[in-house]
Structure 1
Amino acid sequence: MPDNLIIVRKASGLDPDTLHTLSTALGTAPERMGGERPTLLRWQAAPQSSATFDAWAEEYGVDAANVPASLSLADFRLLAIDMDSTLVTMETLDEIADVAGLKAEVAAITEAAMRGEIRDFTESLTRRMALLQGVGEDLIERVYRERLHLSPGAEVLLAAARAAGLKTLLVSGGFTHFTDRLKEQLGFDYAFANQFDIVDGRLTGRVLGPIVDGAFKAQAVRQCCAEIGCAPSQAIAIGDGANDLGMMGVAGLSVGYHAKPVVRAQATWSVRVGGLDTVVDWLG
């Protein structure tokens, strides 16, 4: 019997036609049923390709992963997660730019960087920050109060990680104006992000200190693992853009969350449709 499980999740429930189609494709029936429209099912079957799971997400609205039968959340010691478009539903710099009337210009650079078209994250961040020179600190506060929302399932994921004994790391190419508050609000053990340079209540268009790029994120995972006393292979890293590939590459398990194609191609798993709590179900 294969030691690989295909775990399929759909929050609104899997209908009988979808169950039949997936079972036919996998050549076996699911391991267990959960009522007329179960939200989570497991098949003991050979691993499937990322392209197959992409197609299932598109056609059936499901998230699927190849999961070793014995794997659980408690096998890990650290959960590292990106902020923008991962822990929260937005790109914070884009929202600041929107409030300032500059969203189109800033968002275009953000998208190019997330797709990996601008290889140097430092360049993309420097270009975006220069466009925001002169923006008032009050607008940053307004974005935090009015626009910042957690991604679905974020609190479930963090609670499950803590219950399983994992430490939690928020590591972001965004800014401490947001990560510091999220760390306090959600109880992260560690948080790293960039720092705005603000003079007389306005952005100077520069960043203070070292920029949190892909290499920094990878080193943050290594550093936290060293403090905890575990190997990076015992870390889970979750992100959505090219800047997350560094930490995803050093972690034992990487998860792309509504990620760009360049990230989905390299991630161990990808959440394509559902919330962050999908990861909990896969590791349950």
Structure 2
Amino acid sequence: MNLVIQSPAPLSADHHKTLVALSRGSHAQIVDAHAIRIADVDEGQRADLDVYCGTHALDYAFVEAGRHLRDFGLVAMDMDSTLITIECIDEIADYCGLKAEVAAITEAAMRGEIQDFNESLTRRVALLKGLDASALERVYEERLRLSPGAEQMLAGAKAAGLKTLLVSGGFTFFTEKLKTRLGLDFTHANTLEIVDGKLTGQVSGEIVNADVKARTLRETCAQLGIDPARAIAMGDGSNDLKMMAAAGLSVAFRAKPVVREAASVGFNYVGLDGLLRLF
């Protein structure tokens, strides 16, 4: 196995020898100013690496030697707090004075404390009843920002021949705009019901929960003619876990503890473009 160490700031040479010793690796190779790759490491050293990397705000990942990004065929991403920095439903709720109440439910659901995602989404959407639909455009224009490294990661994935899937427990209003803006291949999300320019407090059709996210990844792989083992899944919340488990490589991005523990790789400090440095 190789060990890839990444830093949001230029990685100091002072770390190189220490990290080689901690991982019991053979040598360090400089990837770029922000990353090194250490060959022939001992995976049993995770505990020491956790402490050192946590102390110095570094991300580490064990990656099978000889793997390339082009070995994969799909990168599937969650939207809220993964591809983008906000939780759209929380920001929509701000326009009707209910952000704190809705955000509390969102946070509990993402930590896995509310097991029924359908119920948590239904409760939150119901609080939006009567809100003018123009609030969605305002959230997109005024508050939605891409996560650090998002565009670089997508460009690198596309250059390596991967297709892109945005699958979200959020809303089609935002996923469709992002599909056009970023040139994504596939999207799947919930549809907010709007009547006479107002939100009804309901969603139309099947709710995109953890099971649907995983099914969407598998169905997209089938459509592309690839095994799910050739998919990369990126997410931050507990409703991403089944999708991440279905993929060959899972990336926890600024994620809740339950997701970090389950994922192949965790990015707590670097941007989404950290994916490109793994291979």
Alignment of 1:280 onto 2:270: no
Which amino acid in the other structure matches residue 69 of structure 2?
A: L
Q: Distance in 2 between matches of 1:32 and 1:273?
A: 21
Alignment of 1:42 onto 2:31: no
- The answer (yes or no) to whether the contact 1:53–1:65 under 8 Å persists in 2 is no
Q: CA deviation at 1:178?
A: 0.2
Structure 1: stretches of 5+ with no match in the other structure: none
Q: CA deviation at 1:254?
A: 0.6
1:32 alignment partner, SS class? strand
Q: Distance in 2 between matches of 1:228 and 1:98?
A: 39
Q: Which residue of 2 aligns with 1:127?
A: 123
Q: Distance in 2 between matches of 1:28 and 1:59?
A: 20
Match of 1:20 among 12, 17, 20: 17
Cα offsets for 1:250-277 (capped at 9, x unmatched) = 1111110011011011111111111000
Q: Distance in 2 between matches of 1:90 and 1:262?
A: 20
- Identify if the C-alpha distance between structure 1 residues 87 and 51 changes in structure 2 by more than 3 Å, giving closer, same or farther: farther
Cα offsets for 1:83-128 (capped at 9, x unmatched) = 0000000000011112321111000000000000001110110111
- The answer (yes or no) to whether the contact 1:57–1:272 under 8 Å persists in 2 is no
1:265 alignment partner, SS class? helix
- The answer (yes or no) to whether the contact 1:153–1:276 under 8 Å persists in 2 is yes
1:1-284 → structure 2 map (5 Å cutoff): 4-28=1-25, 30-33=27-30, 38-44=33-39, 45-48=41-44, 52-283=48-279
Moved more, 57-66 or 74-83: 57-66
- Identify if the C-alpha distance between structure 1 residues 10 and 160 changes in structure 2 by more than 3 Å, giving closer, same or farther: same
- Identify if the C-alpha distance between structure 1 residues 77 and 108 changes in structure 2 by more than 3 Å, giving closer, same or farther: same
Q: Distance in 2 between matches of 1:123 and 1:42?
A: 44
- The answer (yes or no) to whether the contact 1:66–1:269 under 8 Å persists in 2 is yes
The total of aligned residue pairs comes to 278
1:259 alignment partner, SS class? coil
Q: Which runs of 4+ in 1 moved over 6 A?
A: none
- The answer (yes or no) to whether the contact 1:100–1:139 under 8 Å persists in 2 is no
Structure 2: stretches of 5+ with no match in the other structure: none
- The answer (yes or no) to whether the contact 1:194–1:210 under 8 Å persists in 2 is yes
In the superposition, the TM-score normalised over structure 2's length comes to 0.95
In the superposition, the TM-score normalised over structure 1's length comes to 0.93
- The answer (yes or no) to whether the contact 1:94–1:106 under 8 Å persists in 2 is yes
- The answer (yes or no) to whether the contact 2:31–2:37 under 8 Å persists in 1 is no
Q: Among all aligned residue pairs of Structure 1 and Structure 2, give the percentage whose two residues are the same amino acid.
A: 51
1:273 alignment partner, SS class? coil
